[in-house]
Amino acid sequence: MLLAAVALAAKPLPAVADEFDRAASELLDKYAKELDQLAAWCDSQGLADQAGSTRAWLSPRNPDKLYVAVFPREVGRSEPVAGTPPGLVEWDKRFHQLRREQANSLEALARRAVRNGRASLAFDLVLAALRENPDHEAIRGLLGYQKHQNEWRTVWEISKLRSGQVHHETFGWIPKAHVRRYEQGQRYSNGRWITAEEDAQLHRDIRSGWDVETEHYTVRTNHSLEAGVQLGAKLERLYRVWKQLFVRYFAAEDQVTALFDGRARSNWARLPRHQVVYFRTRDDYNQALRAAFPNIEMSIGVYVDSTRRAYFFAGESYDDRTLYHEATHQLFHESRPVAPDVGLRANFWIVEGIALYMESLHEEHGFHVLGGFDDLRMLAARYRLLHDDFYVPLADLTAMGREALQSHPQIATVYSQAAGLTHFLICHDGGRYRDALVAYLGAVYSGRDKPGALAELVAASYADLDRQYREFIQSAGMPTLAEEK
Ligand SMILES: [Zn+2]
């Protein structure tokens, strides 16, 4: 790995929105006006549907959520078919022209932002640009995509495709020549074809389970090939969002800058393949892990740093939130060199806070979405602060190491607060603390953190942050009892 030289961002961030934040919001305002004009033109032409979709394109998003667009795989957009009325053709042309221009403006601003230490903002901007123009070659390249047979694919996918494999929704990556027989219930094992039942028998024990490979994970499971593929798809979704958000965690600033300059990707951080074990039953899970964890039956998933594996099991108590939580611990642990005892002396709250935050991953209208005041962890944070008046000031919270936090008499309530604070650091005031948060995570995981690290990085006192957090939570109000968890 080329990550040893990761430098912690020592530069405190500006206490107020800087020129890049301002430029970004000006770009958005200008674009909103242009879309509005186009919608008004549609109205004047009697194109009600097009007016509606033009207006909806920038429909208001919650500032308390993070949105990562899901990008199309196909290269090129669908053009109006022959015989489309001229008004529609004209709208289509204008709309796409505006989008392409906006994509270019966003990309240009991203390049300036990244050169000024605003990697998180820069990534937000290029992702927004790619939504406007999914075929923007420079941005696709920057995010690791290449054109392959009229599709945008990663280098890993292209090597799979070139070796004669295809990605099957149900069976994952298999040789193209096998697809039909798999769909008929046959399985290929040790050089011969067998039935799905025989295959299941062969993989019944986790030690001889299926190994399902996705781009960044190997999922070992004794449940079924299909369940391994499904779990792998969820892990890849988390991975993608995590990687965009935390690029500065696993890559140094000069690596990110080089990426934007289109310089060699060979210099780019090589990340390891992550190992996940997915048991068929809770019993299998308990049995495999009990020796190391006497209380294993109290958990529904766990990341074990000594084995570098995350463990889950199928069945009724399976929960995506637990998957995302433990897999987040894994990503932070394995994506750069980390200290042997992360958070042992101080700052342990953020290790849990960030995993609790990532639990909220879900999809809304073509976006991967994180956070939101209505996420169940946030509902709890709001309720505990506003109703119970429970709050551990940051000066005390950051001074707590792992033991202190885990033996706190109100540990669940402290966890709710950790989730709320993380949420606050990610999206408060348009996300101006987000780069500092990422640097803070870097400091904690590398074991170079002091209790005052967060205050230094955000250039605000803990008392100020306590006050801002309270205002942030108050802005959402007291959750109703029906919302309460
Ligand atoms: Zn955890």
The predicted-structure confidence for 35-70, as pLDDT tens digits, reads as follows: 999 999 999 999 999 999 999 998 767 889 998 888
Please give the structure tokens belonging to residue 249.
Answer: 């965690």
Report the predicted TM-score, pTM, of the whole model to 2 decimal places. 0.90
- The torsion angle over the Cα atoms of residues 448, 449, 450 and 454, rounded to 10 degrees, is 150
Q: How far is the CA of 153 from the centre of ligand 1 (A)?
A: 33
Tens digit of each residue's pLDDT (9 = 90 or more) over 146-188: 999 999 999 999 999 999 999 999 999 999 999 999 999 999 9
- The span from the CA of 6 to the CA of 107, in Å, is 25
Residue 117, pLDDT above cutoff 70: yes
Q: How far is the CA of 326 from the centre of ligand 1 (A)?
A: 6
Q: How far is the CA of 347 from the centre of ligand 1 (A)?
A: 14
Q: How far is the CA of 305 from the centre of ligand 1 (A)?
A: 12
DSSP 8-class letter at 350: H
Amino acid in position 81: V
Q: How confident is residue 316, by pLDDT bands cut at 50, 70 and 90? A: very high
Q: How far is the CA of 184 from the centre of ligand 1 (A)?
A: 41
| CATH number among 3.40.30.160, 2.40.30.110, 1.10.287.70, 3.40.190.290, domain 204-334 | 3.40.30.160
Q: How far is the CA of 88 from the centre of ligand 1 (A)?
A: 52
* Contact predicate 397/94, CB 8 Å: no
Q: How far is the CA of 303 from the centre of ligand 1 (A)?
A: 8
* Contact predicate 424/432, CB 8 Å: no
Instruction: Round the average pLDDT of the chain to a whole number and report it.
Output: 91
Residue 10, pLDDT above cutoff 50: no
Q: How far is the CA of 216 from the centre of ligand 1 (A)?
A: 21
Q: How far is the CA of 229 from the centre of ligand 1 (A)?
A: 24
Q: How far is the CA of 415 from the centre of ligand 1 (A)?
A: 9
* Contact predicate 133/99, CB 8 Å: yes
Residue 110, pLDDT above cutoff 80: yes
State the pLDDT at residue 303.
97
In which residue are the tokens 């599709």 written?
151
Q: How far is the CA of 92 from the centre of ligand 1 (A)?
A: 48
Q: How far is the CA of 369 from the centre of ligand 1 (A)?
A: 20
Please give the structure tokens belonging to residue 272.
Answer: 């390891």
Beta bridge partners of 303: 310
Q: How far is the CA of 102 from the centre of ligand 1 (A)?
A: 40
Long-range contacts of 406-412 (CB under 8 A, 24+ apart): 406/348
Burial grade of 132 (CB within 10 A; 0-12, 13-18, 19 or more): buried
Q: How far is the CA of 354 from the centre of ligand 1 (A)?
A: 9
Stretch 208-212: mean pLDDT, rounded? 97
Q: Where are the domains of the chain?
A: 19-148, 164-202, 204-334
State the pLDDT at residue 210.
98
Tens digit of each residue's pLDDT (9 = 90 or more) over 352-406: 999 999 999 999 988 899 999 999 999 999 999 999 999 999 999 999 999 999 9
Q: How far is the CA of 307 from the centre of ligand 1 (A)?
A: 16
Q: How far is the CA of 240 from the centre of ligand 1 (A)?
A: 20
Could you tell me the CA-to-CA distances from 97 to 104, 272, 341, 396, 469 in Å, in that order? Answer: 11, 40, 53, 53, 41
Q: How far is the CA of 398 from the centre of ligand 1 (A)?
A: 17
